[in-house]
Structure 1
Amino acid sequence: MKKITLLGKVRAIFDRKQKWQLVGLGIMIFIGGLLETLGVSAMIPVVQALLAPDELMGYIDRIPVVKNLCDALSITTVKQVTMALLYGMMAIYVIKNLYILLLTYMQNTFITKNRNRMISRVMAEFLNRPYEKYLGADIPTVFRITDSDIPQTFSLILAMLQLASEAVVTCLIFMVLLLNDPGMTLFIIAVFGLLTLFIVKVFKPRLNRIGARNQAIQSRIAKWRIQATYGLKDVKVLNREEFYVRNYYETGKVGAEVARNYAVLNNMPRLLIETVFIVSVLGFLVVYINGGGDITAMVTTISAFAIAAVRVLPSVNRINTYITEIAYTQPSLDFVYDNLQEGMKTDAMLAERKAYSQVEKLKLDHQIELDHISFHYPDSDKNIFEDAHMIVPKGKSVGIIGTSGAGKSTIVDILLGLLHAQTGMITCDGVDIFKNYESWLAQIGYIPQSIYLIDESIRDNIAFGIDADKIDEKRIWEVLEEAQLKEFVEELPEGLDTTIGDRGVRLSGGQRQRIGIARALYNDPEILVFDEATSALDNDTEAAVMEAVNSFHGRKTMIIIAHRLNTIEKCDMIYKVENMKLVKTTL
């Protein structure tokens, strides 16, 4: 496979509009370079006017364009020329710096807006991936791509833009210096060129490795933080605080060492360049004087080079700093590029699904059928189901039982369309659910064993993922009543505005399950799927929750996965998961 270059990856992650914006920035950078060069080169005649005024007038007489301009403006004396140059310098620097400010604004507008756009794009791609892709997902790394890798990628792109800007300025200033003193300029160009080559060959690979190590460390740091936070109750009950604090600290210490090594390596080029530049220039003068050269004859040249050095030396320093920064952040660009390539497959899958979806919405009038399905997980060849078949008539409640690990929850995920069977279909009144998958999901209310609750109000937890101005308050109270939770909420001081804590820590287990039922009912679905929704509850709480569940008997089509037989004793039909089949049975 052909290796994609750094520039190729940058081009690949941007769309056509963004690429044109980059072209526009490139043109602006070149204009900025011209203005920077004009600012430096304009200093040379000012120095000449102050140090050698007589030579300046002779210089003006030799250039017809300049002489005609002076005549037109009635500038005839050295004082008038000097004042004109000084006023001109003021104007040039005001215009130049206003333009550079505008360029900085445009560059950072491009970076910040497109960084946010890409984070949103990656988030959307991640959420739209097939469910199978999540099964082995490294969650800390998922967090890292949005929190670290994409910001690092745009730091790289900003460094590339600034590198281009400094390179333009440096090249143009060297062209001006070549006209002034070719020998000394070529010598300095050779010194800077060799230094840059040395930095690219020696520092860049090391910084690439440090950048990749930083990525791994950031994932590890996130892992310890997530595990300790999400498992806080277990951490405290088992008295494992010291374990997590120690591991977090030790991993962070390695991260600090990586950050230190980067800082040191990133500063070494600047110190190296300054040292070599000063030693080289002074060494050049030593050789020149020892060779019998007249130092007084070089006063103007040395002054010009000193002025240029004030601008060129920082530019060369920054160029090499940007090179090392690009090397350090390139692993992040590689990771973002690989993820966006994967995202293109997801986009293609969604486009294909949309193209082949039927216009008519799916509607359950007769039955749902799992039509002779066979399934195994993507990372395994062992079948969980082979030619399994099940029918769920409309308005009936169907219980599914089986031993732990038999595949009860897997069959729910297949029914929901989250997992894709290798053979067979899931149909609604004979129509494949993937013909209009969004329509299929709109008919389903799903209540899992562990309800995902957010640290927001009861209202926001029931109307999960709906904008505040679009929440139907009347419907909220209706589903609370159906879930037998209305009286409890009415007695709360803040009612629906009561916040329930992270993952509902301020609620009991039964109350959390009822919130889950209310959420599932909010869109008035035809089908309710209970995936061991009461298995974590005690007997009395389960009985109370099942009273709410059984109240939907005959009004909703229900599929109830259960571990305990008493949970499904009132179901119209029961299937048992055994030997990779769904076998119709009775209690």
Structure 2
Amino acid sequence: MFIRSDVKNILGLLSRRDKLILLSLTVAQIVLSLLDLFGILAIGLLGLIAIGDASKIFEDSKFILFRNLNWMNDMSTDRQLFTIGILIVTSLLLKSFISMFINRKIVFFLSKKSAVISSDLLSKFMSLSMQDIYSKSFPEMIASIKTGVGTLIIGVISSLCLLISEVFSLLIVLLGVFMYDYQTAIILVLLFGAVSLVLYLTTHTKSRALGESSTSMNLALDNKLMELFTSYREIYVKNRLNFFNNKIRELNMKLAHNSAELNFIPYISKYVIEISLVVGAFLILFFQIIQSDLVQSIATIGVFFAAGARVSPSILRIQQSLVVIRTSYGSIIPTLKLINLVSTVKPQTQFRSKTIIKNPIRPLVQVSNVTYFYPGSKKPALTNVSLDLPEGSLVAIIGPSGAGKTTLVDLILGLLSPSSGSIKISGENPIDALNLWPGSIAYVPQDVTINSNSIRENIMLGYESTEFTDEEIIESLKFANLYQKVKNLETGLDTLLGEKGFKFSGGERQRLGIARAMLSKPRILILDESTSALDNDSEKMIINSIKGMHGVVTVVVIAHRISTIRDSDLIAYLVNGEIISQGNFQHIRNTIPNFDNTSKLI
């Protein structure tokens, strides 16, 4: 079922203390089975008292567990029956209540561990390199972290604890019955053993296949829904909505069939075991009538039914645990792959939010002889790039598509690590700089991610609602030339933007991204084509705002408009991953042949 590395990785999710707690609770469940054994044999005792010679019963070697009750010999038969009945009810109820309490402890304990492990797994995953993160299917990663961990912990580990305790409890009960009547015990073992084996062989492969199939189809369904929602305009115009509706309906039908199959499996086990119990009782009665007197036969039948009444639920729980484990294993394969992927990853230090640093950041960026290869590529994306960004300067990085501009920005931000060379921000490597001066470095992409929440929540992405005032939010909106738009909205900052911010135009979404970046008053601001969707007036106002920060904030711009880069202190022109010229605007025009025509900047 599980390969060795899977078991190791699953157990590795639990600390030594966690394992000891689970072991203690499981052992407690096993010990409780003694109460079951007492109740089962006491039922046989009850039958003998009812129709046998009560004066000698407590000296019978078959009732070694009850020899300490020989003080009951002086009681009347009715009093003995009543007393034994009370003991039976008490032992069985006590076992059930304590078992329920322990199971609740196990489930709640593992549920909390599931939340912790899920957070740790996310932290490790987000500590991977950017290319590793983006090489994964996001719906699959979301499912692995959101539901996969819960299925792993509750569906596998919890079921495994239940399986172990039920197996040992079953063995203890069978051993006790064997001490009473070995023929009854043998019939129980052979009958229910054969039934359990047949049920396991007929359901375990099917359960895993259904689990794997359901996981695959759920991911396919999520992907189709994502495609439908994110590409609605194109799909609507192409008149392909019915295609998606039919595909989604088809996947839902298959999932419904799988769900019905999985939900019916426990019923098969239930009815088969019920039939087995009746057949076993007939066999016991047949052998006992042949070999024993009627009194002994009735007592033995009582023990068989009592044992069967406790054994049957145990077998059902064992069978159900095996089905759950098999089904869960089929659905947690992506989660196991993720655990494997991040097993050696050390989570990055949690970024602080607005901590005051004694030594403030100097907005100085130094790129020294940086070369970078993407994984699996023999050709460098950047070759021996060196660039000094003076404090408070406006620096433009330009060049044709595929020149390496965004790769250089990702390296400066610490999203990628140089294959050779170094990058320093205020004398520190980028990751340390982000930790030392949180909020002092800001980035605005070309395609700004907007969620369906309010304008306020979108601007405060990654911050608690109490960390910034409305006045600070308004100040950032003014910088991005978006305040008047928000002010004129009926609900202002509380206006909900809808999925992907559809209530805002492309230019307004870019301005919202700029406002988001400026909220933390950064000392280094990187704009990656962040004004490409703006109209001329909006861009002019933002450029004027940027100029107003000259000498205080270092601004790095990737742009294709002359109005954006003309007044830059430094322009770096990249071609095929190399800086072939750097200087002011006029210098670039003079040194790059056909610059005006090829760049389309003018």
TM-score normalised according to structure 1 size: 0.89
Matches within 5 A, 1:165-564: 165-283=165-283, 285-286=285-286, 297-347=296-346, 350=348, 363-364=361-362, 367-439=364-436, 442-564=439-561
Whether 1:565 aligns to 2:567 is no
Secondary structure in 2 matching 1:345: coil
Opposite residue 305 of structure 1, the aligned amino acid is F
Secondary structure of 2:4 counterpart: coil
Q: Select between 389-398 and 223-232 the one with higher mean Cα deviation.
A: 223-232
Deviations 1:108-133 (A, max 9, x none): 21132122222222222222322121
Opposite residue 465 of structure 2, the aligned amino acid is A
Question: Counterpart amino acid of 1:17?
Answer: R
Q: CA deviation at 1:185?
A: 1.3
Return the alpha-carbon distance in structure 1 between the equivalents of residues 136 and 574 of structure 2: 28
Q: Aligned partners of 2:256, 2:535: CA distance in 1, in Å? A: 48
- Aligned residue for 1:11, secondary structure, equals helix
Q: Counterpart amino acid of 2:54? A: L
Does 1:586 pair with 2:588? yes
SS in 1 for 2:447: coil
Unaligned runs of 5+ in 2: 590-602
Residues 140 and 220 in structure 1, CA contact (< 8 A), matched pair in contact too? no
Deviation at 1:533?
0.6
> Paired residue for 1:58?
56
Matches of 2:177 and 2:65, distance apart in 1 = 21
CA distance in 1, matches of 2:55, 2:133: 77
Encode CA deviations 1:258-309: one digit per residue, 9 max, x unaligned: 33343444544444444445435535655776x6876665122112211221
Give the deviation of 1:33 after TM superposition.
2.1
Q: Could you say if the C-alpha distance between residues 20 and 458 of structure 1 is closer, same or farther in structure 2, counting changes exceeding 3 Å?
A: same
- 1:145 to partner: Cα distance: 0.7
Q: Which amino acid aligns with 2:111?
A: T
Aligned partners of 1:364, 1:78: CA distance in 2, in Å?
95
With over 3 angstroms needed to count, the CA separation of the structure-2 counterparts of 1:430 and 1:94, relative to structure 1, is closer
Point out where structure 1 has 5 or more consecutive residues left out of the alignment.
Answer: none
Give the match for residue 44 of structure 1. 44
Q: SS in structure 2 opposite 1:146?
A: helix
Distance of 1:135 and 1:76 partners within structure 2: 79
One-letter amino acid matched to 1:103: I
Q: Relative to 1, partners in 2 of residues 1:433 and 1:140: Cα closer, same or farther, differing over 3 Å?
A: closer
Shift of 1:341: 3.5
Q: After superposition, what is the alpha-carbon deviation per residue over 1:416-456, rounded to whole angstroms, capped at 9, x for unaligned?
A: 11011211111235544345442366431211112222222
For the residues of structure 2 that align with 1:297 and 1:430, how far apart are their CA atoms? 91
How far the C-alpha of 1:531 sits from its partner, in A, is: 0.3
> What whole-Å deviation, never above 9, does each CA across 1:317-370 have from its counterpart, x for those lacking one?
22122112212212345543442243232217x47x99xxxx9967326x4122
Alpha-carbon distance between aligned partners in 1 of 2:428 and 2:314, rounded to the nearest angstrom: 67
Structure 1 counterpart of 2:101, one-letter code: L
Q: How does 1:12-51 map to 2 (within 5 A)?
A: 12-50=12-50
Q: 1:209 to 1:360 in 2, by over 3 A?
A: farther
CA-CA distance at 1:69 after TM superposition: 4.8
Report the more deviating stretch, 293-302 or 458-467. 293-302
- Secondary structure in structure 2 of the residue aligned to 1:470: coil
Cα deviation for residue 87 of structure 1 reads 2.7
Report the residue type matching 2:317 in the other structure.
R
Secondary structure class of the residue paired with 2:450: coil
Structure 2 CA distance for partners of 1:66 and 1:141, relative to 1, 3 Å? closer
RMSD after superposition: 3.1
**SS, match of residue 567 in structure 1:** helix
Read off the aligned partner of 2:151 and give its amino acid letter: Q
8 Å contact kept, 1:33–1:165: no
Q: Displacement of 1:137 after TM fit? A: 1.6
Which stretch of structure 1 is more off in the superposition, 562-571 or 335-344?
A: 335-344
In structure 2, C-alpha distance between the alignment counterparts of 1:370 and 1:575, rounded to whole Å? 12
8 Å contact kept, 1:401–1:408: yes
| Residue identity (%) | 23
What corresponds to 1:89 in structure 2? 88
SS in 2 for 1:507: coil
2:137 is aligned to: 138
The change in CA–CA distance for 1:208 and 1:150 in structure 2 (over 3 A counts) is same
